[in-house]
Amino acid sequence: MLASFLQFVFSGITVGSIYALCGLGFSIIFNASHVINFAQGEFIMIGGMATVSLVALGVPLPVAILLAILATMLVGFALEKFAVEPARKASVTTLIIITIGASIFLRGIAQELWDKNFHKLPPFSGDQPFLIAGASLMPQSLWVIGVTVVVIVGLGWFFNRTLEGKAMLATSFNTLAAQLVGVNTKKVLLMSFGLSAMLGAIGGIVITPITFTNYETGIMLGLKGFSAAVLGGLGNGMGAVVGGLIVGIAEAMAAGYFSSAYKDAVAFIIILFVLFFMPSGLFGKSGTERV
Amino acid sequence: MMLEVRKLTSHYGRIQALKGIDVIIEEGELVALVGANGAGKTTLLRTVSGVQPASAGAIWFDGRDITRMAADKRVAAGIAQVPEGRQVFGPLSVEDNLRLGAYRRKGENPAGDLERIYTLFPILKEKRNQAAGTLSGGQQQMLAIGRALMSHPRLLLLDEPSMGLAPLLVAEIFKTIQELKKLGTTIFLIEQNATAALSVADRGYVLETGAVVLADSGKALLTNEQVKQAYLGM
Ligand SMILES: Nc1ncnc2c1ncn2[C@@H]1O[C@H](COP(=O)(O)OP(=O)(O)OP(=O)(O)O)[C@@H](O)[C@H]1O
Ligand SMILES: [Mg+2]
């Protein structure tokens, strides 16, 4: 009883961490541009797939991970530079549609570059589970959770302690004033795509040993990350993290106690519920200065 | 010459907001520009700061043509603006707002500058850890001025700093402006409060529907019949 409950919590927190990273990606770009970047899920896919390919080429895992993150960031920069930036004067709706187009485009490229099959990575440190009160916790889950914690702490430091981070926040609060103190707000927009791509790639890489990956992985993960961000209040960093954990755990419970057929429905029910009953999410937008 | 604006025009879509403006500001001067609602005062400052594109004409700063220079580079070059409506970063702390004012001078330790601003506006020191959005209008205006000063501007642009403030605070803000001038800052002051602005200014301009209609010393404009009728309510 307790054991299975604990088991669902473990798996919920693990996938929830990825939703949190993805939700943070949505929030960072949303803050910088008010665009909802529906290609966020593709960053997750590219990070995972690129690592798989590099490892298959014989590149040592840590180097492969680093290169895959860099490659995903380049895709993020390119997305901003060549798809979003040229249309910057267009309405936000147009920009959102552009990101949807970009996500389809990126999936197409991925399908050509790789294939439609599922690919996997070996767990980073073996697959000997830890037994806790009858529930088993995989070492890879600890990697996922640990890396997520490190990333969140790093982001918190960046946005609350560095001038560059504060300049990004300042741009989201008041773009005109940010320009007037000398912030290059175009660069901030570019940075926000790079940063979000990095978060997506990191999530995609650490989760691949557990869930495997293929060219379409980003669709579902992206939507769930989006529901996490919406649940926490779009633009609210801490909200995205809490939202990610809630979506992850709710999903694991639904799959465990009812049927795994309901698993994906949970995220959609949450999105609809939030949009209808609390459009500003659990934490509204007021807490944006804390990531 | 510190700033030279020549035949400057600017548009919002099809609306022409500036119709060939000529303005000159010498080093160390305090120049006022007055005009009614919608005359184009803010547009002129926005164009000088580079957040609004010029359609034609030129802006020279320190002997350099900056007409097409990006806004952030103009801050680095020494132009700072205190925008209309203060535009502080509401959720950020007072001190973070000030630190961001020194954004273009990142390498340097702003501690000394912060102290200088806190001496000028002691209330900001008291409230330095509060969110800027919780300050009163007058305090936000001081913060906006302090933030602009953090960049060590050679030219300070002020867009209606007295707007919406109680008379006592207006007096305080004008006193600060005069102090800054004494310290050697070149100031371009935009105001609807023409009496106050022209009394402290070396020279003044009167703007009407996007064009300069009068230019003279501050004193002369204060006693000009046309100005008196239109802007001083006499
Ligand atoms: N964003 C905008 N889009 C379209 N027209 C604008 C915009 N901003 C200003 N205008 C128009 O440009 C003209 C000049 O406006 P501006 O704000 O520069 O005037 P102002 O002298 O600063 O007025 P105020 O004293 O009210 O601040 C006005 O006719 C105004 O309606
Ligand atoms: Mg104005």
pLDDT (tens digit, 9 = 90+) per residue, A171-207?
999 999 999 999 999 999 999 999 999 999 999 999 9
Q: Whose CA is nearest to atom 1 of ligand 1?
A: B12
The shortest C-alpha distance from B131 to chain A (Å) reads 10
Mutate to test the interface with A, among B73, B79, B100, B158 (most CBs of A within 10 A): B100
The shortest C-alpha distance from A167 to chain B (Å) reads 7
Task: Domain count for chain A, please give it.
Answer: 1
- Count the neighbouring beta carbons within 10 Å of the beta carbon of residue A259: 9
Task: Read off the tokens for A283.
Answer: 């934490």
Mean pLDDT lowest among A92-101, B18-27, B52-61: A92-101
A182–B76 CB contact, under 8 Å: yes
Mutate to test the interface with B, among A180, A185, A191, A285 (most CBs of B within 10 A): A180
pLDDT tens digits, A13-64: 999 999 999 999 999 999 988 899 999 999 999 999 999 999 999 999 999 9
A181–B51 CB contact, under 8 Å: no
The answer to whether residue A80 sits within a structural domain is yes
- Residue-range definition of the domain harbouring residue A113: 2-129+137-277
The answer to whether residue A283 sits within a structural domain is no
- Measured between alpha carbons, how far is B24 from B26 in angstroms, rounded to an integer? 7
The answer to whether residue A284 sits within a structural domain is no
Question: Residue A208 contacts by C-beta under 8 Å, 6 or more apart in sequence?
Answer: A48, A51, A52, A119, A120, A121
The answer to whether residue A210 sits within a structural domain is yes
pTM summary value: 0.90
- Report yes or no: B179 and B119 within 8 Å, Cβ to Cβ: no
Task: Read off the tokens for A195.
Answer: 């940063």
- Report yes or no: B91 and B131 within 8 Å, Cβ to Cβ: yes
Q: What is the pLDDT of residue B234?
A: 60
Q: With b meaning 16 or more CB within 10 Å and e meaning fewer, what string describes A218-234? A: bbebbbbbbbbbbbbbb
The answer to whether residue A71 sits within a structural domain is yes
Q: Nearest CB to B89: which of A163, A170, A286?
A: A170
Alpha-carbon distances of A64 from A42, A49, A60, A125, A212, rounded to whole Å: 18, 11, 6, 16, 16
Prediction ipTM score = 0.94
Q: What is the pLDDT of residue A286?
A: 44
Beta bridge pairs of residue A119: A213
Question: Residue A121 contacts by C-beta under 8 Å, 6 or more apart in sequence?
Answer: A48, A51, A52, A55, A61, A205, A208, A209
- Measured between alpha carbons, how far is B12 from B53 in angstroms, rounded to an integer? 9
- Is the Cβ atom of B192 under 6 angstroms away from ligand 1? yes
Determine how β-strand A135-137 pairs with β-strand B30-35. unpaired
The answer to whether residue A285 sits within a structural domain is no
Chain A residue at shortest CA distance from B151: A181
- Report yes or no: A157 and A141 within 8 Å, Cβ to Cβ: no
**pLDDT surpasses 70 at B8:** yes
Beta bridge pairs of residue A19: none
Cα-based torsion angle of the residue sequence B36, B42, B45, B49 in order, rounded to the nearest 10 degrees: 180
**pLDDT surpasses 90 at A288:** no
Domain locations in chain B? 27-50+74-231
Mean pLDDT lowest among A244-258, A269-283, B212-226: A269-283
The one-letter amino acid at A45? M
Q: What is the pLDDT of residue A267?
A: 86
**CATH number of domain containing A83:** 1.10.3470
Q: Which fold has domain B27-50+74-231?
A: Rossmann fold (3.40.50)
Check residue B79 and report its DSSP letter. E
CA-based nearest residue to A32, from A237, A159, A170, A239:
A170
Determine how β-strand B15-25 pairs with β-strand B3-12. antiparallel
- B177 touches A at CB < 8 Å: no
